Amino acid sequence: AQKITQTQPGMFVQEKEAVTLDCTYDTSDPSYGLFWYKQPSSGEMIFLIYQGSYDQQNATEGRYSLNFQKARKSANLVISASQLGDSAMYFCAMREGNNRLAFGKGNQVVVIP
Amino acid sequence: DTAVSQTPKYLVTQMGNDKSIKCEQNLGHDTMYWYKQDSKKFLKIMFSYNNKELIINETVPNRFSPKSPDKAHLNLHINSLELGDSAVYFCASSQGNRAYEQYFGPGTRLTVT
């Protein structure tokens, strides 16, 4: 069963606007972590942000913030003030208590000037 | 300074051959991983080693054999290559309890003809 779901089609966003990438997850483990990675066209995977299941506040890292809604099992990524360099695939991922990692299928984002 | 390096970056070979991909990290991390990203960009973990000990072994054909000679290296050997093995293989590393913050290598694009 798929544990991480990213269903949005490819997205176009205007430069300087904000974009929200949806991610829902499924786990019965009380302790887990959620994170987002960016994969630009060059192929490398870049860690962006992390949210622990017991964290009280939503994680933020610069222009990235994670909208964590535990009851809904969602962990959406918000990128504010989009830049051309934000064009990439974005992967939501989850770590469960046994340190197993599961990735979603990714969201393609294209920032247009 | 390259944090996680993989060689080769590209590998084209014929079915039935045996090949190896090497991975090295200079971050002093104690955990290393191998991931496979298929043509649809789906990223799936294959193996994880902690201090040279195998801790995650997903459902991967036994033609794939990871080898960790020391904490800084995790090599992937593939026997009897098949067409379906064509993919991008990523090595990653992390430190202990920060398993969510993985640093990825640049990837190795394997093409089996």
pLDDT digit string (tens) for B59-74?
Answer: 788 999 999 999 899 9
Mean pLDDT score, B36-49? 87
How many cross-chain Cβ pairs, A to B, lie less than 8 Å apart? 50
| Model pLDDT, residue A98 | 64
Instruction: Report pLDDT for A85.
Output: 96
At residue B97, the pLDDT reads 65
Q: Which positions ≥6 away from B85 have C-beta within 8 Å?
A: B78, B110, B112
In residues, how long is chain B? Answer: 113
- What's the helix, strand, coil split of chain B in %, to 5? 5, 55, 40
User: Is pLDDT at A69 greater than 70 in this prediction?
Assistant: yes
What CA–CA distance (Å, rounded) separates A11 from A33?
Answer: 26
Amino acid in the structure at residue A10: G
- Among the listed residues A68, A67, A25, A34, the one whose alpha carbon sits nearest the alpha carbon of residue A52: A34
> Is the confidence at residue B86, as pLDDT, over 70?
yes
Q: What's the whole-number average pLDDT of chain B?
A: 90
Q: CB of B45 within 8 Å of any CB in chain A?
A: yes
Per-residue pLDDT at B1: 63
**Is the per-residue pLDDT at A2 higher than 70?**
no
Residues 43-62 (A) with a CB less than 8 A from some CB of B: 43-47, 50
Q: How many other β-carbons are positioned within 10 Å of the β-carbon of residue B65?
A: 14
Structure tokens belonging to residue B98: 């920060």
